[in-house]
Amino acid sequence: MRGILQGDRTLLSQAITLIESNLAGHFQLAQKVIEQCVPYSGNSLRIGITGVPGVGKSTFIEAFGRYLTALGHKVAVLAVDPSSEISGGSILGDKTRMEQLATDPNAFVRPSPSAGSLGGVARKTREIIILCEAAGFDIVLVETVGVGQSETAVHSMVDFFLLLMLSGAGDELQGIKRGIIEMCDAMVINKADGDNLSRAQAARVQYQNALHLFPLPPTGWVPRVGICSAINKTGIQQVWEMVDEHRRLLKGNGHFLLKRAQQQKYRMLETINQTLTDRFYLHAEVQQQMPLIEELLTHSKITSYQAASRLLDIYFSNPRRQEDPGK
Ligand code: GDP
C-alpha cells in the first residue's frame, strides 16, 4: 500500500492484477487495497477518448500522452474494451501499441481488463483509476472503442469526453450515434495532414455547426471541434488547451465536483441494479422454476406479466436462498 502511494509501478501493476483477477480470494484483498487508496484518489483529470477502430486513438494517445509528460504530468492510460475477451485483446491495449509512451517513466499504460461483461470491465477500470490516482498520476486517459455501450460506461467515469473523428467520410456525422455526440465535450478530427488537411478544416466547420443544434448543457460548456494529426503531432497542444479550459470553467462554476458526485450516484444505482439482477438469476428456486414458467408462457397458459410476477415472488419470498453466494 505504501509502495503504491510512493508510485512504485511494480506494486501498482501487481495491485491492478489483483483487481483484474476473478478469484474470490483476490477479490477481498483487492477491495482492501482499493479502500486504502480511496482517500488519496480523486486528484487527477480523467479524460475519456473514443472513436471507431482505425481513427487513430492509440496514435493520438501516444502523441497526447507524450505531450503531457513533457509538460511534467504523470499520465496513466487505461482502456475499456469488453470485447477483449472474445477478440483476444486485439482491439485495444495490445502491447505493441503506444511503444514510446509505454517506456516513458512518467507514463503508465495498461490494457483493458478482459473481464467479459461491460459492467465488470467498467467497474474494474474505475477501481484501477483509484489506484493510479493514489500512485500520483494526475492525468488518466481512458480509451474505448466507438461501438456498443462502452462509451456510456466511460463517460460515467471521466471529467472530459473526447470523440476522435475522421474527415472526408461524407457530410454526415459518419453514422456516429447521436447519443455519443451528445456525450462528448469535444470532437477532434484526426489525420488532418497531407491532402486531408483542407477536408478536415471543412469538416470542422460542418461539425461545429451541427453541434450548435444541440441544446447547451447545464455545465455551460459548448462542445468544441478541433483538428489534429496524431502522426505529425500537430494540433495536440490545442486539444490540451481545450481540455484545460473546460476544467477551469467547470471548476469555477462548481460543475466539476457536481459531475463527479452525479457519477458516483449513477454508479451506486448501477451497482444496486446489477446486484439485484445477478442475485435474482442465481437464486436456486428461480433457476428451477424458470423453465417451467417459460413453458406455461409458451403455451399461453399465463401472461408475461404473470410469469414475471411468479418468478419475482419466488425470489422475494426467500431472497437469501442462492445458488452461489460467493458470486
Ligand atoms: P485506433 O484503432 O483508433 O487505435 O487507430 P490507430 O492509432 O491504430 O491508427 C490506425 C491507422 O491510422 C494507423 O495506420 C496509423 O498509423 C494511422 N494514423 C493514426 N493517426 C494518424 C494521423 O494523424 N495521420 C495519418 N495520416 N494517419 C494516422
What separation in Å is there between the alpha carbon of 193 and the centre of ligand 1? Answer: 12
Q: Provide the 3-class DSSP secondary structure of residue 76.
A: strand
The number of CA neighbours under 13 Å toward the Cβ of 325 is 4
pLDDT at 231 over 90: yes
Alpha helices (H) in 178-283, listed in sequence order: 178-183, 196-211, 236-252, 255-282
The alpha carbon of 136 and the centre of ligand 1 are apart by a number of angstroms equal to 30
Is the predicted pLDDT of residue 119 greater than 70, yes or no?
Answer: yes
Sign of CA dihedral 112, 114, 118, 124: negative
Ligand 1 pocket residue status of 114, Cβ below 6 Å: no
**pLDDT at residue 89 above 50?**
no
Answering whether pTM is above 0.85, one says: yes
CA 45 to CA 245: how far, in whole Å? 12
Q: Which helix (H) or strand (E) holds 3?
A: helix 2-5
**Residues 247, 252, 256, 259, CA torsion sign:** negative
Percent of the chain with pLDDT over 90: 59
Q: What is the mean pLDDT of residues 109-130?
A: 83
93 lines ligand 1 (CB under 6 A): no
pLDDT given for residue 175 in this prediction:
58
Of ligand 1's listed atoms, the one at least distance from the Cα of 92 is 4
Residue 91 CA: which ligand 1 atom is closest?
Answer: 2
Least confident of 117-121, 159-163, 235-239, 304-308: 117-121
What is the phi/psi pair of residue 22, to 5°?
-100, 10
Alpha-carbon distance of 327 to 319, in angstroms, equals: 15
Q: Are 53 and 145 in contact (CB under 8 A)?
A: yes
Pocket test residue of 87, 197, 231 for ligand 1, highest count of atoms within 8 A of CB: 231
Mean local confidence (pLDDT), 200-217? 86
Cell of 318: 426467500
Query: What is the DSSP-derived secondary structure letter of residue 192?
Result: -
- Return the SS3 of 310: helix
Averaged confidence pLDDT in the chain:
87
The whole-angstrom separation of Cα 130 and Cα 1 is 13
Amino acid at site 286: V
> How much distance in Å is there from the Cα of 59 to the middle of ligand 1?
6
How much distance in Å is there from the Cα of 176 to the middle of ligand 1? 18
Is the CB of residue 53 below 6 angstroms from any atom belonging to ligand 1?
yes
> Which tens digit of pLDDT belongs to each residue from 140-189?
999 987 666 788 889 999 999 999 998 865 445 555 667 777 889 999 99
Cell of 305: 406479466
Q: Which atom of ligand 1 is nearest to the CA of 59?
A: 7
Q: 144 CB less than 6 Å from ligand 1? A: no
> Ligand 1 mean position to 229 CA, how many Å?
9
